[in-house]
């Protein structure tokens, strides 16, 4: 077939050819990357403070019962961060002195006995527990850059909504973690703080955009974390770093105090703020706090009868330009299906939802706004300015990352807001949402890959740019979803799945996460073996 024939052929065929070409390039790239990065990587020391391995709710209980002091827990986190950060580069700004002061106050409140323990448990369930969040949430007094060089001296005057809710319940924030430039890519790298390395193998990515957070949680440097997710930014880092991450139902956890802020109500409905933890049992209590007054909508305390659930699953979206799902991930999904069948007599039903093939055009088109991407990362506007910046990047003197500049360029292509294509994909999104809500009802869950491959090498996502289709499409539907770790691959990299439920049925995802944590072992300490 000649180039001309390919270019003039119907869209379907053209996509297929493009798909094959991309797979070939990615395969060649893989060899290249493995030669370039395929060394041992850097070692991180084992976790020595046992408290760092425990669930948030246990740490909170031990602090309340004076089995350990808040100061001791904060100090353990600080030690651990200092031990691992030279190899991982995940933690970017601290408030250690202030955190220690708050820890001493928490210990004093408990020691004084002025408030009965039961009352403290109700009013301040996280009293004295240290946590971290990504550098796209405002934390009073800390830099708030979102990885954008233009913002490198920006300091927050108040806390983001979700951060405030947690601090009001006694949690102590110790610092913030790295993100991709403007949080708009799935490898964590920017020109303020550099690149973050995977704790299981530092030659690999941590994912994004809550990549520093996923990394720090997995490495045991913080008791729990807060992430945000508009296309997979909680779930991909949870998956690549072997921890749990929950993106809540739309409109539950406040999105205030984030940069970039969602521009329209539709995009706001895609963006979810949620917990990232080593242990599934922590997701529910943290979500309950982060949901503020909306918590009643989720009926989180209503028991879930797993035996009565309807289970649907799909192994692959068969989308063009997306990698096939790794056989080890398919195998892990099959083990989950078998477990649910043997333990809970659940017969899962396989789905072949055809519209999922369109995940990327649906997400990309629905994410379009009138604001041009480059205005958020550069002083100048327009294609010429972007091209100039790309040249500067290649010679190593741009404040922007190459991928951001490409993203800015592609933002000048594709469907304009209000165009026929744009309106078409708004409708397709609605149809897919209807299909999902009807399938899931009030007792259904959907098992789906989080991502088609375990953590790739640094920079490799450039050759596999559309692989976040598996997470992104769920954002478009506003559905709750939890990334669940299922052990390590043969190469020693975390793998897992996501479980999706209907709107405000987050408790079904969380119940399955707890069940699979017990059955499959959940988080495993990095580089332990
Ligand atoms: C990290 O990955 C490289 C390349 O695949 C491999 O050679 C190395 O053994 C891995 N390191 C660890 C600690 O597993």
pLDDT single digits (tens) 5-50: 655 667 777 878 888 888 888 888 888 888 888 777 899 999 999 9
Q: Cα(197)–Cα(237) distance, rounded to whole angstroms?
A: 11
Domain of 335, CATH number, reads 3.90.1300.10
Domain-located, residue 165: yes
Give the number of domains in the chain. Answer: 1
The backbone region for 139, taken as left when phi is positive above 0, alpha when psi lies in -120 to 50, beta otherwise, is beta
Cα–ligand 1 centroid distance for 40 (angstroms): 5
**Tokens 């924030």 found at:** 173
Ligand 1 pocket check: which of 35, 37, 41 to mutate, most ligand atoms within 8 Å of Cβ? 41
Query: How confident is the model over 332-368, as pLDDT tens digits?
Result: 999 999 999 999 999 999 999 999 999 999 999 999 9
Q: Closest Cα partner for 361 from 320, 407, 409?
A: 320
Cα–ligand 1 centroid distance for 200 (angstroms): 9
Query: How confident is the model over 281-291, as pLDDT tens digits?
Result: 999 999 999 99
The arithmetic mean of pLDDT across residues 448-473, rounded, is 97
Radius of gyration of the chain (CA): 22
Q: What is the DSSP letter of 456?
A: P
Q: What pLDDT shows up at residue 9?
A: 67
Domain-located, residue 341: yes
Helix (H) or strand (E) holding 24: helix 11-37
3-state secondary structure of 451: coil
Domain range for 41 is 15-368+414-520
For residue 326, name the pLDDT band (cuts at 50, 70, 90).
Answer: very high
Domain-located, residue 155: yes
Output the residue whose Cα is nearest ligand 1's atom 8.
40
List alpha helices for 40-160, DSSP H: 56-64, 70-88, 96-112, 117-123
Domain-located, residue 403: no
What the block records as the tokens of 277 is 């933890």
Domain-located, residue 1: no
Ligand 1 pocket check: which of 39, 200, 488 to mutate, most ligand atoms within 8 Å of Cβ? 39
Q: Cα(189)–Cα(331) distance, rounded to whole angstroms?
A: 31
Cα–ligand 1 centroid distance for 211 (angstroms): 20
Q: Are 457 and 35 in contact (CB under 8 A)?
A: no
Domain-located, residue 399: no
Domain-located, residue 377: no
Q: Are 521 and 43 in contact (CB under 8 A)?
A: no
Active site amino acids: 134, 209, 233
For residue 311, name the pLDDT band (cuts at 50, 70, 90).
Answer: very high
Q: Cα(228)–Cα(493) distance, rounded to whole angstroms?
A: 23
The arithmetic mean of pLDDT across residues 470-482, rounded, is 98
Give the bridge partners for 465, in sequence order.
none
Taking CB atoms and a 6 Å cutoff, what residues make up the pocket around ligand 1? 34, 38, 40-41, 201, 203, 492, 527
- Side-by-side strand order, sheet with 172-177: 91-94, 172-177, 130-134, 224-229, 272-277, 244-247, 481-488, 494-501, 444-448, 310-313, 349-350
Domain-located, residue 384: no
């Amino acid at each position: 077939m000649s180039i001309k024939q390919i270019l003039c052929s119907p869209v379907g065929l053209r996509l297929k050819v493009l798909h094959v070409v991309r797979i070939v390039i990615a395969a060649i790239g893989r060899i290249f990357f493995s030669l370039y990065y395929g060394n041992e990587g850097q070692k991180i020391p084992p976790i020595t403070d046992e408290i760092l391995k425990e669930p948030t709710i246990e740490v909170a209980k031990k602090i309340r019962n004076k089995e350990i002091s808040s100061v001791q827990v904060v100090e353990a986190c600080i030690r651990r961060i200092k031990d691992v950060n030279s190899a991982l580069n995940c933690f970017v700004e601290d408030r250690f002195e202030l955190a220690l002061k708050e820890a001493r106050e928490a210990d004093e409140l408990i020691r004084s006995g002025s408030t009965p323990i039961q009352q403290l448990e109700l009013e301040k369930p996280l009293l004295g527990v240290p946590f971290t969040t990504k550098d796209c949430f405002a934390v009073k007094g800390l830099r708030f850059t979102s990885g954008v060089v233009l913002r490198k001296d920006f300091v927050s005057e108040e806390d983001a909504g979700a951060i405030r809710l947690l601090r009001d319940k006694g949690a102590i924030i110790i610092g913030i973690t790295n993100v991709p430039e403007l949080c708009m890519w799935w490898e964590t790298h920017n020109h303020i703080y550099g690149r973050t390395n995977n704790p299981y193998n530092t030659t690999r990515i941590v994912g994004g955009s809550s990549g520093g957070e996923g990394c720090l949680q997995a490495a045991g440097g913080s008791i729990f974390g807060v992430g945000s997710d508009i296309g997979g930014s909680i779930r991909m880092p949870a998956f690549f770093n072997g921890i749990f991450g929950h993106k809540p139902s739309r409109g539950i956890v406040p999105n205030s105090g984030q940069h970039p802020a969602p521009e329209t109500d539709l995009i706001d409905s895609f963006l979810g703020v949620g917990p990232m933890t080593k242990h599934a049992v922590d997701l529910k209590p943290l979500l309950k706090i982060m949901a503020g007054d909306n918590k009643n909508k989720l009926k989180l305390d209503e028991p879930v009868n797993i035996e009565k659930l309807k289970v649907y699953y799909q192994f692959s979206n068969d989308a063009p330009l997306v990698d096939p799902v790794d056989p080890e991930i398919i195998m892990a999904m099959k083990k989950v299906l078998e477990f649910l069948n043997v333990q809970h007599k659940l017969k899962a039903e396989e789905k072949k939802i055809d519209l999922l093939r369109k995940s990327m055009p649906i997400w990309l088109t629905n994410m379009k706004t009138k604001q041009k991407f480059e205005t958020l990362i550069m002083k100048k506007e327009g294609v010429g300015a972007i091209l100039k910046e790309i040249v500067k990047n290649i010679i190593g003197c741009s404040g922007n990352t190459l991928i951001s500049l490409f993203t800015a360029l592609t933002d000048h292509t594709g469907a304009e807001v209000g165009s026929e294509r744009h309106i078409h994909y708004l409708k397709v999104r609605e149809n897919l949402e209807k299909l999902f809500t009807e399938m899931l009802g009030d007792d259904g869950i959907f098992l789906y890959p989080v991502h088609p491959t375990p953590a790739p090498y640094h920079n490799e996502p450039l050759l596999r740019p559309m692989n976040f289709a598996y997470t992104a499409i769920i954002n478009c539907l506003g559905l709750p979803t939890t990334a669940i770790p299922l052990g390590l691959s043969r190469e020693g990299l975390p793998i897992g799945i996501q479980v999706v439920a209907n709107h405000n049925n987050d408790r079904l995802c969380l119940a399955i996460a707890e069940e699979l944590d017990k059955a499959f072992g959940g988080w495993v300490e990095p580089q332990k073996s």
